[in-house]
Structure 1
């Protein structure tokens, strides 16, 4: 089945370039473009649910972080990726707490951006906004992280399944919760562990 990917940015040249990158890394995808939030909502409300929405943070109609959180709730089955020139860790953290699946900086190279989009679509909760690497999550304990043993029982269950290589949809089925709820748990446990990818979290689990 052909998947739908919406690329939403109000700058036509960047939107076109990003669409080409998406088409290259996800061959066969139906890539649709939007220049404002109304266009996004119109596209999202027609046809089958969009597989992925790639959205500029500074986007007409997207007035604040709560608006982004509401959009997340409106599109529970859609992978939501934010692209932005913003490089303030505090703002990036707020964006991630709104429930998005990943944050990608516009300043990184096209190859890196394509790889980041693929990783997020494959279930990584990823933050990358500079060529130097990943933005470290802020954990709750000394050194910005906590031990696996300090996770909640639900986070521990999710981490165990991540370590088994399960996708968000498979985790949702195993725990009888929604994929959206899984994304929230994954984001919170990565923050707690002080890591930026599922792979790194799995390594912590197997080493605990």
Structure 2
């Protein structure tokens, strides 16, 4: 029986790389790529409950734990692995409580990602944050600001203006939960712990 696996990420290059990694880790699998949450649901309905969902945490239409819970209710036997740069323990625990079977950092090398895939497929719960990966295996970015995604830079701009998470959510037409994830991720990337410190960097870099 063919394993139908859905890979979702809105970054084409990472999505393609993840698809190849899944095909290598789970031989004979048929991998379906999705760019939006709507595509994920449509593909799952068309081909039946997938053998595995491999999902980014931030892509169009996906609303974190709410969407995970929705997938769990609709496809109760399909494992869900979240692959993201976000590694906040509170968020990870919320995702697991909602029905996810695992979380692995995007910073993980291929061997660790493949291991996470096979373990989740075997029914195990997997958590691999960036901090769990040996330092010599973690990929580094040229500079913290350059490492921010376009959306994170937008959020940072609003942080500089003093907006709250709810206000940023309204401005960008996304959920406050998603804003919270972006804020946590950009604080980690910038190496600061407060919104004020991030705003200061934004002002210095003229973002």
Task: Answer yes or no: same fold by TM over 0.5.
Answer: yes
- The equivalences for 1:99-118 within 5 A come to 99-118=99-118
Which residue of structure 2 lines up, in the alignment, with residue 97 of structure 1? Answer: 97
- The answer to whether the Cα contact below 8 Å between 1:109 and 1:131 also exists between their aligned partners in 2 is no
Aligned length: 134
Taking a change above 3 Å as real, the CA distance of residues 93 and 25 of structure 1, as seen in their structure-2 partners, is same
State the TM-score, normalized to the length of structure 2.
0.62
- The reply on whether 1:47 has 2:35 as its aligned counterpart is no
Matched with 1:17 is 17
Q: Cα RMSD (Å) of the superposition? A: 1.6
Dislocated runs of 4+, deviation >3 Å:
none
Query: What aligned pairs does 1:57-206 form with structure 2 within 5 A after superposition?
Result: 57-130=57-130, 132=132
Gap runs ≥5 in structure 2: 134-207
- Flag structure 1 segments of 5+ consecutive residues without an equivalent: 134-208
Corresponding residue for 1:35? 35
Query: 1:152 corresponds to which residue?
Result: none
Shift of 1:131: 6.0
Deviation of the 1:47 alpha carbon: 2.5
Contact 1:108 1:131 in 2 (8 A): no
Alpha-carbon deviations, 1:72-126, whole Å to 9, x = none?
2111121111111101111111111111111111111111111111111111111
SS of residue in 2 equivalent to 1:33: strand
Secondary structure, counterpart of 2:32 in structure 1: strand
Structure 1 distance, partners of 2:10, 2:105, is 16
1:136 corresponds to: none
CA deviations 1:13-34 (Å, max 9, x no partner) are 0000000100001110001100
Whether the 8 Å CA contact 1:4–1:52 is kept in 2: the answer is yes
For normalisation by structure 1, the TM-score amounts to: 0.61
SS in 1 for 2:54: strand
What are the Cα deviations for residues 126-148 of structure 1, in whole angstroms up to 9, with x where unaligned?
11122635xxxxxxxxxxxxxxx
Whole-Å Cα distance in 1 between the matches of residues 44 and 113 of structure 2? Answer: 23
* Partner Cα separation in structure 2 for residue 64 and residue 101 of structure 1: 14
How far does the alpha carbon of each residue in 1:45-81 deviate from its partner, in whole angstroms, 9 at most, with x for none? 1123211110111121112422321122111121111
